[in-house]
Chains A and B, each alone.
Chain A
Amino acid sequence: MFESLSDRFDGIFKNLRGKGRLSEKDVDEVLREIRLALLEADVNFTVVKGLVGRIRERAVGADLHAALDPAAQVIDIVHQELIATLGGETIRITYESKPPTVILMAGLQGSGKTTTSAKLARWFKQQGRNPMLVGADLQRPAAVQQLRTLANQVDVPVFSAEDDVVASGQGDPVAVAQGCIAEAKRLGKDVVIVDTAGRLAIDAELMEQVRQISEATSPKYTFLVVDAMTGQDAVTVAENFHQALELDGVILTKLDGDARGGAALSVKEVVGKPIAFASTGEKLDDFDLFHPDRLAGRILGMGDILTLIDKAKVAFDEQEAEAAAARMLEGQFTLEDFLEQMAQVKKMGNLGSLMKMMPGMPKELRNQEIDDRELAKIEGIIHSMTLEERRDPKIIDGSRKLRISKGAGVDVTTVNALLKQFGEMQKMMKGMGAGMLGRGRKGKKGKKGGGGRTTPKGGAPKFTLPPSATSGAKPEFKLPGL
């Protein structure tokens, strides 16, 4: 199995961190590894060349200050270049002064246009807009029906050809496109999302067709939908679509797999337009604006703390969480709190994907596939305890354990493991409480090296694995400058 890009960078930079000074040879070695890592991540050959060249120029050039830690500087340079390549800032969607605002979706077969169209419609609804979907894929059997089913789930109307025309497979998508604006005006819809058939970038006839669809709808945004697993060909595809349609942005799909998404870097570099959205799961709400700085941070193994905060804000009940946090820091956290907070964490999404966002997460844990159904087992065990036991697990003796294990349908060792783990968590929390108290003394440490950066860098927080998961060592939990 390939190492993930961030694991790989972890390895490189571990070597660099130990050094006080960086020789040209060091830079060469780092660059060779970076090149290899990027190529294995499917970043296009030409793009890699450019990127590595730029990093070299800055790393060996005058930018490097002798007084500062050279490793941190190289990391910073790589990070900045990745962000720059990925598109700098998050796209800001604006709307036509005279509605509707038309969005055209284009891409290869199977990149995920239909699903993404529905996800986008849902997103626009969340922004307080009133979207309509247009089924202009009359080629793939049942594509319109797929769109209708998905649209139904997000409660958005679909405009397409008459049913019998759709069923015949002979319908004219350009005609559908021509009719959709009037329909949107009639229904008072202010955003129109046009789903088109998948097509090969080298199919002149179909590229002409999508150009005509574009002409008929004059879209404000034309998005190319790109599969995160795409290889070197992403560049050719992007070039050809850009030539025919003048893209305004890219939507990256299937980012929830283990593909390292090098295609994102490539496409951005070639088209020069930002990656606007990213889709990270099969559910219709697994979709959001793309944050290039966050992906760059993730690639560099810095975690994705900002996305995590966003998710937490949505999922947590503020007062409840605050109370829990207070108890937690005082070491008063009970199994009952644990149960409640776990429910909140579950709302944030799949446990495994959350873990991937944690900065400095140990590899063994980050790559661990976690089945959320296993959480039910934990809940089952806690539910099988009396309130008294939940508040004070110390009273749980052998016979209580037996009863709990029977109630939850697990064996006693599992109950033991949970209690042990919970004890360790409590220790960790107390440690954190102490860390929070010490914060005042350390002053503005967090700001000193921060200089307006949006992601934590260099000294990202390091968390070690809870000991029971690896060996038998003492729990260690170092808190960064908070």
Chain B
Amino acid sequence: MEPVILILIALVLVIGTAGFLVTTRKRREQVELEAVRQSTLAPGAPTVPEEVKEAIAQKEADEAVASAIDTVEAPPIETPVVEAPPKRPSFRDRLSKARATFAGFLGRSAIDDDTWDELEEALIRADLGVGPASALIEHLKGRVREENLQSGDELVAVLKAEMKARLAGKDRSLTLDDGQTNVWLFVGVNGVGKTTTIGKLGKRMTGEGHSVVMAAGDTFRAAAAEQLGTWADRSGAQLVRGAEGGDPSAIIFDAIESAAAKGADLVLADTAGRLHTKSNLMEELKKVRRVASKEPGHVTEVLLVIDATTGQNGLVQARQFTEATEVTGVVLTKLDGSAKGGIVFAIQSELGIPVKLVGLGETADDLVDFDPDEFVDALFSA
């Protein structure tokens, strides 16, 4: 049989079906929109939007938990989250291993077209993206003209200042509310290092005196729960897990309830890696987010884990994940390699999501707080 005929059948069916799905979806959206419009227009019947209802319920729930926990157990000794143990390596130590991209034009005596080309190349090579790189360069050109800058050194100083300014002004501390069952949710695409990050962070948080429960919400990848279990053992955290292929929301909720019952103040919730393009998996993640904020859970961080080698797709990832789960911060992993992680510039400037933690190696101590000044400086160190 001619394969062409097969294809034609498939094609007609696919187009037809897709067309149907698209129309019905559009119609559904329209109906919903209409409903919203009517509810807002109808003066006699003020309806409370779902979010508001949820928020109210949430608030009541939170208050109930707060008073309940007071009676169960006093929260552990408070330690500032941002304080890092002295042993932790600095960016500079780690990044100096990597080839210095920007070293080339340091110490040049004049700024010419070649300088700008090289600068653009360097920024693109660091994965900043063509758009942000061009914007940065246009801005710099203006400053060079206005301030009459002459040497490569001066240019690099201004560039650094600009880059730092673009990363500045964000709260990078991890939120941990007293007397609550705090939930930190970890989301991201496959293979970025969510489970490992939870392991490292768990060690750090228990080390700071917190009582930590790890929720093995990755029920898809084979042996993900075992991997997390190993980290739980290492860090003295408690592990809550379910069956492989189980409902991640249920497992995470179990972990939260277990944490609340024991008076643990922090639940680190793992989720299965998923591509942001898979709508059903993103729906699943939305549900996880909803369920995790049910009493007694109190989601104080949703951390998007991004691999430093990620290219321009990182921005799309960040956008989709924050749409689904309201991401509060980024964990940039594997920055000890040769990749520069420049995509975080775009993520912060376009979406306002700051990097909070950085992974610089395989041991638990290699997860450090993000420092924009050091990050930018390290890019330029020879």
Contacts and interface: CB of A to CB of B under 8 A. Distances in A.
Interface in B286-307: 307
A338 B4 contact: no
B3 A313 contact: yes
B336 A200 contact: yes
B14 A354 contact: yes
Interface string A398-434: 0000000000000001100110011011001100100
Interface string B21-61: 11110010000000000000000000000000000000000
Nearest to B336: A200
Interface in A360-391: 364-365, 368-371, 373-375, 378
B11 A358 contact: yes
B11 A417 contact: no
B381 interface: no
A341 B9 contact: yes
A229 B310 contact: yes
B81 interface: no
Contact of B17 (A227, A318, A342): A342
Contacts of B277: 256-258, 369
Interface in A195-209: 200-202
A231 B19 contact: no
Interface in A327-372: 328, 338, 341-342, 344-345, 348, 351, 354-355, 358, 364-365, 368-371
Among A40, A201, A418, A466, the most chain B Cβ lie within 10 Å of the Cβ of: A466
Contacts of B126: 232
Interface stretch (A71-79, A105-113, A125-133, A243-251): A105-113
B275 A257 contact: yes
B16 interface: yes
Contacts of A293: none
Interface string B300-340: 00000001111111111101000000000000001011111
A110 B311 contact: no
Among B18, B317, B334, the most chain A Cβ lie within 10 Å of the Cβ of: B18
A321 B189 contact: no
Contacts of A231: 127, 309-312, 314, 339, 342-343
A254 B275 CA distance: 8
A201 B227 CA distance: 24
Chief secondary structure at chain A's binding surface: helix
Contacts of B99: 236
Contacts of A259: 311, 313
B276 A368 contact: no
A216 interface: no
A358 B14 CA distance: 10
B343 A322 contact: no
Q: How large is the interface on A (under 10, 10 to 19, 20 to 34, 35 or more residues)?
A: 35 or more
A365 B192 CA distance: 30
A142 B230 contact: yes
Interface stretch (A61-69, A89-97, A145-153, A174-182): A145-153
Contacts of B315: 2
Given A370-B18, A370-B21, A257 B10 contact: no
Interface in A30-68: 36, 39-42, 45
Interface in B204-233: 220-224, 226-227, 229-231
A258 B313 contact: yes
Contacts of B316: 1-2, 258
Contacts of B276: 257-258
Interface stretch (A6-14, A17-25, A304-312): A304-312
A291 to B, nearest CB: 16
Contacts of A445: none
A442 to B, nearest CB: 14
B15 interface: yes
Contact of B311 (A262, A305, A364): A262
A42 B16 contact: no
Among B21, B129, B317, B336, the most chain A Cβ lie within 10 Å of the Cβ of: B21
B7 A373 contact: no
B254 interface: no
A437 interface: no
Contact of A149 (B223, B307, B334): B223
Contacts of A371: 279-280
Interface in A119-142: 139-142
A190 to B, nearest CB: 25
A95 B192 CA distance: 34
Contacts of A142: 223-224, 226-227, 229-230
B107 interface: no
B1 interface: yes
Given A230-B310, A318-B1, A421 B23 contact: yes
Contacts of A169: 230
B124 A45 contact: yes
Given A200-B337, A254-B275, A341-B13, A42 B312 contact: yes
A115 B131 CA distance: 35
Interface in B265-284: 275-277, 279-280
A202 B98 contact: yes
B192 A110 contact: yes
Contacts of B226: 141-142, 145-146
A200 B99 CA distance: 13
B190 interface: yes
A304 to B, nearest CB: 11
A41 B312 CA distance: 7
Given A1-B319, A202-B98, A325 B14 contact: no
A365 B313 contact: no
A273 B131 CA distance: 31
A344 to B, nearest CB: 8
Contacts of A328: 9, 12
A284 to B, nearest CB: 11
Given A39-B130, A262-B311, A358-B11, A227 B191 contact: yes
Nearest to B310: A229
B179 interface: no
A108 B199 CA distance: 19
B166 interface: no
Nearest to A422: B16
A321 B3 CA distance: 10
A145 B222 contact: yes
Contacts of A432: 8, 12
Contacts of A370: 18, 21
Among B27, B307, B315, the most chain A Cβ lie within 10 Å of the Cβ of: B307
Nearest to B340: A233
Contacts of A418: 20
B19 A465 contact: yes
Contacts of A260: 313
A355 B19 contact: no
Given A234-B309, A425-B16, 6 more contacts: A2-B316, A148-B223, A254-B191, A257-B275, A258-B316, A351-B14
22 contacts: A36-B130, A41-B312, A42-B313, A108-B309, A141-B199, A141-B229, A141-B231, A143-B227, A169-B230, A230-B311, A232-B124, A254-B189, A312-B6, A312-B7, A316-B9, A341-B9, A345-B10, A355-B14, A428-B15, A465-B19, A466-B16, A482-B4
Interface of A: 1-2, 36, 39-42, 45, 108-112, 115, 139-143, 145-150, 169, 200-202, 227, 229-234, 236-237, 240, 254, 256-260, 262-263, 282, 305, 308-309, 312-313, 316, 318, 321-322, 324-325, 328, 338, 341-342, 344-345, 348, 351, 354-355, 358, 364-365, 368-371, 373-375, 378, 413-414, 417-418, 421-422, 424-425, 428-429, 432, 463, 465-466, 468-469, 482
Which 5 residue pairs are nearest across A and B when measured between Cβ atoms?
Answer: A231-B311, A110-B191, A141-B230, A149-B222, A42-B311
